[in-house]
Structure formats: structure tokens, C-alpha cells
Amino acid sequence: MCMSATCDKCQKTTWRGCGNHVPGVFESVPKDQWCECEPKVTKEGHEYPPMKNFKMSSLWPFGS
């Protein structure tokens, strides 16, 4: 499942998750609020912002 997230670089809306539901994440987000970072992701013939960086260390309960 994909969900909206905030880009660490531009502070606009991007996404995180499996990648199969990216278009649904952006259905209700105005295009001027979409992350403009690269590289774009192409789904169903449309370009979307890149996935938010996922840091495994943030999930590791024993420190970095």
C-alpha cells in the first residue's frame, strides 16, 4: 500500500510504500504541492514524484 509523505528536500508531497498505488496517493493533492525532485516515477502513463527515502536505521530499535 502507498501513502503520502513529505519530501525531506523540498517539503512537498511525495509517497512511500509498494509503488502499486502511486496514482491514488496524488488524486487529492494539487499538482503545485507535488514534490519536484528527480528522478520521476512513471505509472499508468503519468509522471509522479520519486519515492521518499526510506531509512531502515529509523526502525532499528538498538541504535545506529
pLDDT at 19: 94
3-state secondary structure of 22: helix
Tell me the C-alpha distance between 31 and 55, whole Å: 26
pLDDT at 53: 81
Residue 43 has pLDDT above 90, yes or no: yes
pTM of the model: 0.80
Judge residue 41's burial from the number of C-beta atoms within 10 Å of its C-beta, 0-12 exposed, 13-18 middle, 19 or more buried: middle
User: Measured in Å, how far apart are the chain's first and last C-alpha atoms?
Assistant: 27
pLDDT at 55: 64
pLDDT tens by residue, 3-37: 999 999 999 999 999 999 999 999 999 999 999 99
Helix and strand counts by DSSP (H, E) for the chain: 1, 4
User: Residue 4: beta bridge partners?
Assistant: 15
